A = this chain, B = another copy of it.
Amino acid sequence: MGLVVQKYGGSSVADAEGIKRVAKRIVDAKKNGHQVVVVVSAMGDTTDELIDLAEQVSPIPAGREFDMLLTAGERISMALLAMAIKNLGHEAQSFTGSQAGVITDSVHNRARIIDVTPGRIRTALDEGNIAIVAGFQGVSQDKKDITTLGRGGSDTTAVALAAALDAEVCEIYTDVDGVFTADPRVVPKARKIDWISFEDMLELASSGSKVLLHRCVEYARRYNIPIHVRSSFSGLRGTWVSNEPQGDQQVEHAIISGVAHDVSEAKVTVVGVPDKPGEAAAIFRTIADAEINIDMVVQNVSAATTALTDISFTLPKTDGARAIDALEKAKGQIGFESLRYDDQIGKISLVGAGMKTNPGVTASFFEALSDAGVNIELISTSEIRISVVTRADDVNEAVRAVHTAFGLDSDSDEAVVYGGTGR
């Protein structure tokens, strides 16, 4: 039995009862012979309450102090969890990100882990302790200031520690049973996935699936740390994310892993752009200089009569106003006629490594959307993903239609047969 890293989110430790339930689960893993390292988030709404307090004293909280404030949340949950474990008769010690050796860069509020030196964790384990580590936080390499890793940071802490400690597995405990073939709130027939490759999980994460964040999966893939996403409430086996399925992890030779959707983006269309070299570069340099990440890009075929074209791209709604502002300011320099902004769009993505070798996936995807009466506005593809942009109102219906068409519904036994001449 080797070393296991377990991560528990805020909803799993929302109150004293939750903490005691989690403590029991941790002790069970220890009793099974594992060395156990636990990464824990702040309790329930603690982080939101701290943010509220910060906004009451200062409209624009400062980076360094904001991180100092937020890290109080994990300090509370990890100390309570260690106490609860000790109360069950097992030894436990809690460690801040700094004490656990989570070294980051100096970008407050969204720092990146640059090294993990878990000497104190290793010592605590060797002395028979369960080690509890504060998620979401680290210490900056140059200034020794407390930093936080931004949204989903605790998952990344867990994977980074698992890599540094050469763990067998990183278990991510959450309030759902695992990764599903689609969001169960939209597709009631969505199935829990038993096993999924890092590649497919990365595509799902960047296409709107919220169970695991892209950064965390990327880290796990780089160090080849299997992730097991599972429920802290049910204790059932969840979803394994790894390079290759192990043992009895079911694969079923799935062609398609799942259908993701995302309604958090908006579309910007730059109308009447001169169709000549350098124009697109000028537009996207302007957007990049405003530190905005864009997602999909489409350039229309130039109308022969005018030598003008339109360029559309999607970006997070929260960055929409800044993008429009930046482009308007650069209008004279770039040279375009007008801007259109549309925040009523949605994106549906079909993800699966199987589409590389199964021609006809694209055709089936479009047929399913067409049968559901959904109009496609933009298309973008990777080797193992097809994404389309539609009206936001059509997204839920489109996801259900595609989920059914590819035989992903939980009560469907039909195999989907593809024909045609590739995608």
Contacts and interface: CB of A to CB of B under 8 A. Distances in A.
Contact of A57 (B57, B61, B80): B80
A83 B57 contact: yes
Interface residues of A, number: 38
Contacts of A64: 93
Nearest to A99: B144
Interface in A9-24: 16, 19-20, 23
A85 to B, nearest CB: 9
A82 to B, nearest CB: 4
A86 interface: yes
A357 B59 CA distance: 60
A75 B78 contact: no
A72 interface: yes
A84 interface: yes
Contact of A65 (B65, B68, B69, B94): B94
B79 A69 contact: yes
Tell me whether chain A's interface is mostly helix, strand or loop, or mixed.
helix
Interface string A49-87: 010011011111110111011011101101111111011
Nearest to A134: B68
A137 to B, nearest CB: 11
A82 B65 contact: yes
A86 B62 contact: yes
A164 B65 CA distance: 25
Nearest to A70: B79
A57 B20 contact: yes
Contacts of A87: 57-60
A288 to B, nearest CB: 29
Nearest to A73: B72
A78 B68 contact: yes
A61 B82 CA distance: 10
Contact of A54 (B58, B75, B83): B83
12 contacts: A50-B76, A57-B83, A57-B84, A58-B83, A58-B84, A62-B83, A65-B80, A65-B82, A65-B93, A66-B79, A66-B83, A72-B72
Given A57-B84, A61-B83, A65-B79, 11 more contacts: A53-B80, A57-B80, A57-B87, A58-B84, A59-B87, A64-B93, A65-B92, A68-B75, A68-B82, A72-B73, A99-B144
